[in-house]
Amino acid sequence: MAKQIPATPMLDQLESGPWPSFVTGLKRLAKEKDMMADLLGQLETSYETRKGYWKGGTVGVYGYGAGVIPRFTELKDENDQPLFPDAAEFHTLRVQPPAGMHYTSDLLRSLCDTWDKYGSGLIAFHGQSGDIMFQGIKTENVQPAFDELNEKGFDLGGAGPALRTSMSCVGAARCEMSCYDEARALRTVINNNLDDMHRPALPYKFKFKFSGCPNDCVNAIQRSDFATIGTWRDNIQVNEQLIQDWVAKHGKTELVNQVINMCPTKAIRLVPKDKVAQGDGYSVAAVDAQDCMEIDNHNCVRCMHCLNVIPGGLLPGKDKGVTILIGGKGVLKIGATMGTVIIPFMKLESDEDFEKLNELARNVLDFFAENALEHERTGEMIDRIGLVNFLEGIGIDVDPNMILEPRSNPYVRTDGWDEEVAKWNERKAAAKAG
Amino acid sequence: MAELRQPIESGAPDPKPYMHPVMVKNYGKWVFHSHPRPGVLYHRAESGDEIWTVKAGTQRQMDTYTIRKLAEIADKYGDGYVRFTTRSNIEYMVADEKKVEPLIKALTEAGFPVGGTANSVSMVAHTQGWLHCDIPGTDASGVVKALMDELYDEFVKCEMPNRVKLSTSCCEINCGGQADIAVIVQHTKPPKINHDLVANVCERPAVVARCPVAAIRPALVNGKPSLEVDEKKCICCGACYPPCPPMQINDPEHSKIAIWVGGKNSNARSRPTFHKLVAAGLPNNPPRWPEVSAVVKKILSVYKADARPWERMRDWIDRIGWPRFFEKTGLPFTKYHIDDWKGHRVTFNASAHIRF
């Protein structure tokens, strides 16, 4: 043990400065682990030559086809022998964290124990998909390391063309903006579809993400194929005392400039007490002796800004649920895309509601599995086949909330117009009848 | 050989056993929060129960000594419970306000900066880079460490007009994500093809299909099946490299770094936005990437001075306009800033709305 740590003059420079240094951590591990001494050697080479030296391969655990990211060194001498042999295999185990990424200190230590025993001692909390990344393990140790983690209640995440590990925000655990039980939604959808995570058979990756409100702290809209965003459809709740406390502290000018003027749909006004709107759809709070803040909830788009500025003074309504957007993704084929609204609102409270979410998720996954081309994400599939074909495929009715504006291009066949109008009228009548 | 063991397909674990008891008790019943000081959040539940959160930055790629140290701090100064954020900060929750100051002191003394809340500059969401990725054009942990050393003050203070989120990606696939300021490697030359290896390593139709601009086609080179690239069409995206490593896209000199701004995932005020290219051609210059830090710091300083309270980077640019953004930051505007990808016409100014 205790192999000589190679000289790392470039990496050494990353040990100075106030931010915690990963290089210091690597060096600490290298004192006891030959693998990390050689890893430092390879990384330093990358810094010198500005090139990466890892290639993938096939390493897995019994019963699964995904969850291990294999890495083999490409840094070899003239005889094709690794320059840094103890880091020639440096695989990662992707492990799903508890939803919301909660840990006790004992759990952290227990995870460290396993990784000290079998792996490099290097762990990332967390990868960009939310996995705990246990980085650096030789092929022969992969199975026992996984077995031990698995016995502790942990399971591998996704990799390749598969359902991927999911993320949810802190949500209901500690946030007054939370509009549903994010952790339950995540576990419902992921844990009922694990076969698609552990045995990759989809056209390409598929990601779910869960944010408790439109602040979208886990970036579901841009970074997931299926974004579940908490929202509400009744009036913003008002705590008048907290609003008055806020105004007393910040002044009315700030209320006007930072709350009222920044409302994207001009749904908030400052009005004299005797001119306040009456009736359904308005939230009203006296801000001082003269004026009230009046919110037109039918014109509110639930952007969260005023709630963010006056925490507790304004809260989400009581009729909570979720908006679901499909097709967010990063670059590759067609460039980055945002998710598109396909469910403007659904309740997510009862067991039946969660079952409905699960059915929708399965339905979208099945449609994706059957209709997407190889290496095509959901957003790209919708781009290719059109939103209407996708909606018909999964059995969802069209809704004006799905678009920003109707088509401006007249090149369209409208032979089915009358039938479509009849469908719309039927749905309106059915909704009215309740 | 030991008998093979079937995995227990348990999926994502229930967080409740690992969650602070005050959070379990008041799950879904929080009504108020405030921000007593940078790095500290206060939350109050309907029941009147209170919890304080102390947030600290980490290096994300952590050795077990560091993790054990963080756990020891949780036991000695916290209540034994922590959680991680999506940007790899650690949060300690305590039910007693008296624990907040000692916790801050313990974290700071152990080298973990306390901050990252409200109007601070966030820890950089980032990718694996040379440490572990198979297609990285640069390092990520290193770029982030260098950047956060420079932005340390903005992490521990909350002096920005609104929150600022950063990300770093070691190639154009941009696993790092959308951000107010994003640092991403930009390849500038078409792939260099090792024709001797293509036939053995690459599934050629898959590689051809992967190209977003149809610049790759099968070819016979030196009598062997290979691929060729129409270099005029090629946009140097690197999508061909993962399924076909003999099409080397990374280049020590010509893989440059670009800076993008104005992305936000929140729906607050405006709809979510993607970040936009503002600077490119910065050298991939380890171990400190000073040219990258300089541009990021310049953009941040102008935003800090010019934006109004609550304006995110994108809100500020929407108010002042892109021409003024380039003017104020001193960044050059070039033909490469004009989009020519699908749907580009919607990015053009089809109005006489011009600020003078």
Q: Do strands B166-169 and B181-187 pair parallel, antiparallel, or not at all (unpaired)?
A: parallel
CB contacts, 8 Å: A194 with chain B: 9, 11
Contact (Cβ atoms closer than 8 angstroms) between residue B127 and residue B139: no
Residue of B152, B173, B253 with shortest CB distance to A19? B152
pLDDT level of residue B277 (50, 70, 90 thresholds): very high
Give the pLDDT confidence score for residue B1 in this predicted structure.
53
Q: In degrees rounded to 5, what are phi and psi of residue B353?
A: -75, 100
Cis omega before residue B254 (within 30°)? no
Which residue has 């149809």 as its token pair? B214
Q: For residue B57, which of B33, B92, B81, B23 has the smallest C-alpha distance?
A: B92
Task: Return the pLDDT at B343.
Answer: 85
CB atoms within 10 A of CB B336: 13
B185 band by pLDDT with thresholds 50, 70 and 90: very high
CA distance A98 to chain B (A): 4
pLDDT tens over chain A, length 434 residues: 578 999 999 999 999 999 999 999 999 999 999 999 999 999 999 999 999 999 999 999 999 999 999 999 999 999 999 999 999 999 999 999 999 999 999 999 999 999 999 999 999 999 999 999 999 999 999 999 999 999 999 999 999 999 999 999 999 999 999 999 999 999 999 999 999 999 999 999 999 999 999 999 999 999 999 999 999 999 999 999 999 999 999 999 999 999 999 999 999 999 999 999 888 999 999 999 999 999 999 999 999 999 999 999 999 999 999 999 999 998 887 889 999 999 999 999 999 999 999 999 999 999 999 999 988 999 999 999 999 999 999 999 999 999 999 999 999 999 999 999 999 999 999 999 98
Question: A208-220: per-residue pLDDT in tens?
Answer: 999 999 999 999 9
Phi, psi (deg, nearest 5) at residue B145: -60, -45
User: What mean pLDDT do residues B260-289 have?
Assistant: 96
Question: Using the beta-carbon criterion (under 8 Å), do B113 and A19 form an inter-chain contact?
Answer: yes
**SS3 of residue B168 by DSSP:** strand
- Provide the pLDDT for residue A2: 75
**Cβ B44–A312 below 8 Å, yes or no?**
yes
Give the residue from chain A lying closest to B173, CA to CA: A331
DSSP A185-218: HHHHHHHTSTHHHHS--SSS-B-EEEESSTT-TT
Q: Tell me which of B27, B130, B154, B163 to substitute to probe the interface with A (most A C-beta atoms closer than 10 Å).
A: B130
Residues in chain B: 356
User: What DSSP state is assigned to residue B276?
Assistant: E
The amino acid at A251: G
Measure A277 CA to nearest chain B CA, in Å.
24
The pLDDT of residue B173: 87
**Chain A hits for B187, Cβ within 8 Å:** none
Q: List the one residue out of A236, A308, A180 whose CA is nearest residue B35.
A: A308
**Are B275 and B182 spatial neighbours (Cβ–Cβ below 8 Å)?**
yes
Encode B140-159 in three state secondary structure.
CHHHHHHHHHHCHHHHHCCC
Of B350, B136, B113, B243, which Cα lies nearest the Cα of A18?
B113
Contact B12 A165 (CB under 8 A): yes
Do the Cβ atoms of A330 and B173 come within 8 Å? Answer: yes
- Chain B residues within 8 A of A63 when measuring between CB atoms: 4, 6-7
Residue B85 tokens, joined: 């954020």
Identify the pLDDT of residue A151.
97
Reported as type and span, the H/E element at residue B187 is strand B181-187
Distance from CA of A340 to the nearest CA of B (A): 12
Is B224's pLDDT higher than 80? yes
Q: Which residue has tokens 């700030």?
A: A254
Quote the crossing angle between the two packed helices A387-394 and A351-371, to the nearest 10°. 120
SS3 B22: helix
Distance CA A200, CA A36 (A): 31
pLDDT per position as a tens digit, B96-150: 999 999 999 999 999 999 999 999 999 999 999 999 998 899 999 999 999 999 9
Instruction: Mark yes or no for CB contact B15/A98 under 8 Å.
Output: yes
Please answer whether residues A35 and A90 qualify as being in contact, where contact means their C-beta atoms are separated by less than 8 angstroms. yes
Among the listed residues A109, A401, A337, the one whose alpha carbon sits nearest the alpha carbon of residue B174: A337
| Nearest by CB: A311 against B33, B66, B132 | B33
Residues of chain B with Cβ-Cβ distance to A26 below 8 Å are 63
Cα dihedral B33, B21, A102, B94 in deg (nearest 10): 50
Taking contacts as CB-CB distances below 8 angstroms, the residues of chain B near A69 are 132
Residue B52 Cα distances to A160, B79, B177, angstroms: 39, 11, 29
Which of residues 321 through 380 in chain A touch B, CB cutoff 8 A?
330-336, 338, 373-375
User: Is residue A163 a contact partner of residue A196, using CB atoms and an 8 Å limit?
Assistant: yes
Nearest CA-CA partner of A324 in A391, A249, A240: A391
Q: What pLDDT is attached to residue A136?
A: 97
Q: Beta strand B81-84 with A208-211: parallel, antiparallel or unpaired?
A: unpaired
**Do the chains contact at B177 and A222, CB–CB below 8 Å?**
yes
User: How many whole angstroms separate alpha carbon B230 and alpha carbon B213?
Assistant: 10
Note whether B90 and B55 are within 8 A (CB). yes
Count of other CB atoms within 10 angstroms of residue A31 = 13
pLDDT at B266 over 70: yes
Prediction ipTM score: 0.95
pLDDT for A278 equals: 83
Whether residue B223 is predicted with pLDDT greater than 70 in this model: the reply is yes
Q: Which of A8, A40, A45, A50 to mutate to test the interface with B (most CBs of B within 10 A)?
A: A50
Instruction: Report the alpha-carbon distance of residue A210 to residue A346 in Å, rounded.
Output: 14
pLDDT value at position A52? 94
Per-residue pLDDT tens over the stretch A111-160:
999 999 999 999 999 999 999 999 999 999 999 999 999 999 999 999 99
Sign of CA dihedral B325, B330, B332, B336: negative
Residue A102's identity, in one-letter code, is H
Residues B33, A151: C-beta atoms closer than 8 Å: no
The pTM is what?
0.96
Beta-bridge partners for B167: B125, B182
CB A233 within 8 A of CB A321: yes
Q: What residues does A89 pair with on adjacent strands?
A: A72
- φ, ψ (nearest 5 deg) of residue B50: -125, 150
Residue A260 has what DSSP assignment? Answer: I
Give the pLDDT band (50/70/90) at residue B2. low
- Rounded CA-CA distance A328/A220 in Å is 8
Instruction: Give the mean pLDDT of chain B.
Output: 95
Mutate to test the interface with B, among A19, A75, A228 (most CBs of B within 10 A): A19
Residues of B in contact with A335 (CB under 8 A): 341-342
User: Rounded to the nearest 5°, which phi and psi values hold at B59?
Assistant: -90, 10
